[in-house]
Structure formats: structure tokens, C-alpha cells
């Protein structure tokens, strides 16, 4: 098992057409299955 905690930068557009950029915290959990690392959980939230 392994994990990664990081900050992801993303962007998008509001309904009004305004482009927004935000940083979000992200945690990803991995498990080794049949010799390959698989993502078993991914969580993000704004800070």
C-alpha cells in the first residue's frame, strides 16, 4: 500500500463564463495488485 498527498492546480469556468483557477488538496491511496499499482481511493477538497 502507498499514498500520495499533494496540491493539484485546476481551472474551470463558471456559468457566467468567468475562468477560475484554484488549488486543491489531494490524497490518493494505492494498492499493489497482481504486480501493478492500482488507485483504490482519491479524495480532494478546497483549502
What's the pLDDT score for residue 19? 96
Neighbours of 37 (CB within 10 A): 11
Give the residue-averaged pLDDT of 5-34: 96
How far apart CA 28 and CA 33 sit, in angstroms, is 16
Model confidence pTM above 0.75: no
What's the pLDDT score for residue 47? 77
Residues 30 and 5: beta-carbon distance below 8 Å: no
Amino acid at each position: 500500500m502507498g499514498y500520495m498527498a499533494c496540491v493539484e492546480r485546476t481551472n474551470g469556468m463558471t456559468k457566467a463564463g468567468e475562468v477560475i483557477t484554484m488549488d486543491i488538496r489531494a490524497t490518493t491511496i494505492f494498492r499493489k495488485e497482481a504486480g501493478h499499482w492500482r488507485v483504490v481511493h482519491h479524495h480532494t477538497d478546497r483549502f
